[in-house]
């Protein structure tokens, strides 16, 4: 082993820390701003109808550009992609923090999404090529899985703390500290990793893929703020699906495809992506509906709500560390992921029993713990397996697929479960009698309960699909296929 190789080997866990911080920053911004929105709305004086655009602008840019970001990390080199992603994300966060108009804040959030779409695949791709030895890879992805499973909960806690103790603007300014530390870490610990295969950017594939994802994410986001019967909702979804179908057809003929379809041919990788899709769909019910329940029904403050979600972070950490990190390298993902999805489904079922008189310790906490234990068994094995057996030239594209799958799953879950909860609650309220306040509260909780059942169903379906799709044993790793030169 050369001196350079030994040096890189000794720095790998520092690299892991830097990448984890970068990924946490991207995930936090999907939820950290949520709690700050009411105060931002008061400060900047925009309407409640426009409030959703603060979230949607980030989701649209992030979701639609992930595949492009993944390919650029292959073409530019992962270190360059991390530099550009971190610096751009920090600048956009500063613009948002200093914003004195609604338009400026929305633009800043969109720019955050653009650079986040470059940063997230580059971070995962770097992790993939840094850890290739099975046992160490399992440990590294266990740590990464903790972030994936608990990032939204940490975002709620951080958003509540910053909004209550400082200002909503610090929900954006905090990224400057994260980015500064990560930039120094990238400079010291991360190697370049440019693809040795000279390829050009697939322009037509970029247009078709990005536009298709944009319309799909927009369609589901529009369903949340408008309705499923809206022409804009269905029109966007139909256009998005058509563009993505054309994208897949073009990728079969492109000399330098944006998404090489060969990376989807692996059965375990496909099963892992299915697991991430259904998990992202189901998680919406926890991080939004349960937050509503804690604040509106139990009367928790935003900060206390954030603290209330911390047990899921602990449970994910324990599950990923003591199960995924030790067992994945021995048994592979097949026993772990379906088990995790069944545990997550059980956690959701526990939430269906919540009432206006439920207490946190006896009714909310058990569900959070069971769900967290399940998520730890899902995220780490699924992400590790989805990026295993990948040639170095395709690592960025494969990493982008992981992030894209999660983003689409989140968009579907948000639109579908929110619609179910609202529709069921409205129907229950119409048929209720007695005190209007109590009837409204009872109807709302019934809507939550039905949505939790649907979420449990997502996890249960995912458990069955992954049981049949994932292969037994440990996947072949990238280093065995294409050793670094």
Alpha-carbon distance of 257 to 199, in angstroms, equals 9
What pLDDT is recorded for position 466? 95
Which residue ranges in the chain fall short of pLDDT 50?
1-2, 477-485
Say if 1 falls within a structural domain.
no
pLDDT score, position 1: 45
Q: Which structural domain range is residue 221 located in?
A: 202-257
59 and 120 Cβ atoms separated by less than 8 Å: no
CA-wise closest residue to 406 among 379, 445, 430: 379
Residue showing tokens 């990923």? 320
Cβ(75)–Cβ(201) below 8 Å: yes
> What pLDDT, on a 0 to 100 scale, did the predictor assign at position 452?
95
Q: Closest Cα partner for 39 from 210, 213, 171? A: 171
Task: Report DSSP letters for 37-83, one per residue.
Answer: HHHHHHHHT--HHHHHHHHHHHHHHHHHHHHHHHHHHHHH-HHHHHH
The answer to whether residue 485 sits within a structural domain is no
Q: How far apart are the first and last CA of the chain?
A: 11
Per-residue model confidence (pLDDT) at position 49: 65
* Residue where a domain terminates, one of 222, 237, 257: 257
Residue 2 maps to a domain: no
The per-type count for the chain, helices as H runs and strands as E runs, is 20, 0
> Around Cβ 338, how many Cβ atoms within 10 Å?
24
Distance in angstroms (rounded) separating the CA atoms of residues 103 and 96: 10
**Where do runs of H (alpha helix) occur along 320-394?**
325-331, 336-351, 365-386
Residues 253, 263 within the same domain: no
Q: Given phi > 0 = left and psi -120 to 50 = alpha, else beta, which region is 434?
A: left
Last residue of a domain, one of 257, 282, 304: 257
**Does 172 lie in the same domain as 39?**
yes
Residues 158 and 230 both lie in one domain: no
- Domain assignment present for 384: yes
315 and 336: one domain?
A: yes
Residues 278 and 413 in one domain: yes
Query: SS3 for 226?
Result: coil
- Give the Cα separation of 386 and 320 in Å (integer): 16
CATH number of the domain enclosing 35: 1.20.1250.20
Same domain, 401 and 450: yes
d(CA 370, CA 248): 38
Query: Number of structural domains, the chain?
Result: 2
Q: Is this structure's pTM higher than 0.95?
A: no
Contact 403, 379 (CB under 8 A): no
pLDDT of residue 167: 87
Residues 245 and 264 in one domain: no
Question: Which DSSP helix (H) or strand (E) runs through 309?
Answer: none
Q: Which residues contact 50 (CB under 8 A, 6 or more apart)?
A: 102
Residues 253 and 286 in one domain: no
Would you say residue 5 lies in a domain? no
Residue 426's CB: how many other CB atoms inside 10 A? Answer: 12
* C-alpha dihedral, 289 to 290 to 291 to 296, nearest 10°: 80
Of 236, 257, 278, the one marking the end of a domain is: 257
Could you tell me which of 309, 246, 437 has the C-alpha nearest to residue 32?
A: 309
> In terms of domains, do 349 and 413 share one?
yes
Q: Does residue 273 lie within any of the structural domains?
A: yes
Measured in degrees and rounded to the nearest 5, phi and psi for residue 272 equal: -65, -40
């Amino acid at each position: 082993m050369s001196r350079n190789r030994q040096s890189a080997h000794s720095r790998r866990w520092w690299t892991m820390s830097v990448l984890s911080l970068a990924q946490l920053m991207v995930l936090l911004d999907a939820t950290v701003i949520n709690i700050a929105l009411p105060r931002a709305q008061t400060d900047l004086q925009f309407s409640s109808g426009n409030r959703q655009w603060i979230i949607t602008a980030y989701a649209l840019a992030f979701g639609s550009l992930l595949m492009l970001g993944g390919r650029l990390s292959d073409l530019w080199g992962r270190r360059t992609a991390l530099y550009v992603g971190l610096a751009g994300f920090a600048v956009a966060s500063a613009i948002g923090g200093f914003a004195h108009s609604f338009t400026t804040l929305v633009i800043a959030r969109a720019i955050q999404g653009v650079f986040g779409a470059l940063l997230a695949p580059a971070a995962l791709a770097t992790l993939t090529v840094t850890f290739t030895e099975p046992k160490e890879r399992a440990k590294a992805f266990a740590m990464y899985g903790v972030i994936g499973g608990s990032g939204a909960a940490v975002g709620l806690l951080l958003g509540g703390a910053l909004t209550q103790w400082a200002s909503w603007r610090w929900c954006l300014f905090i990224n400057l500290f994260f980015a500064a530390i990560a930039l120094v870490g990238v400079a010291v610990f991360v190697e370049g990793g440019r693809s040795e295969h000279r390829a050009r950017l697939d322009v037509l594939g970029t247009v078709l893929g990005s536009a298709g994802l944009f319309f799909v994410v927009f369609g589901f986001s529009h369903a949340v703020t408008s309705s499923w019967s809206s022409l804009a909702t269905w029109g966007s979804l139909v256009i998005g699906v058509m563009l993505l179908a054309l994208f897949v057809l073009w990728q079969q003929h492109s000399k330098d495809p944006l998404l090489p379809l060969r990376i989807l041919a692996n059965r375990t990788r496909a099963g892992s992506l299915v697991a991430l899709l259904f998990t992202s769909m189901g998680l919406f019910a926890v991080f939004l509906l349960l937050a509503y329940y804690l604040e509106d029904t139990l009367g928790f403050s935003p900060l206390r709500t954030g603290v209330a979600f911390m047990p899921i972070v602990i449970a994910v950490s324990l599950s990923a560390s003591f199960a995924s990190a030790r067992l994945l390298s021995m048994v592979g993902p097949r026993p772990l992921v379906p088990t995790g999805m069944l545990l997550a489904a059980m956690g959701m079922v526990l939430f269906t029993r919540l009432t206006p008189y439920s207490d946190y310790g006896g009714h909310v906490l058990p569900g959070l713990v069971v769900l967290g234990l399940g998520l730890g068994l899902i995220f780490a094995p699924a992400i590790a397996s989805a990026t295993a057996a990948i040639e170095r030239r395709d690592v960025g594209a494969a990493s982008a697929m992981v992030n894209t799958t999660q983003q689409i799953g989140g968009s579907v879950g948000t639109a579908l479960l929110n619609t179910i909860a609202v529709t069921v609650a409205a129907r229950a309220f119409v048929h209720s009698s007695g005190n209007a306040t109590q009837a409204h509260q009872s109807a709302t909780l019934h809507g939550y309960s039905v949505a939790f059942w649907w979420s449990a169903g997502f996890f249960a379906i995912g458990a069955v699909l992954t049981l049949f799709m994932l292969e037994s044993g440990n996947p072949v790793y990238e280093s065995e296929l294409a050793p670094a030169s």
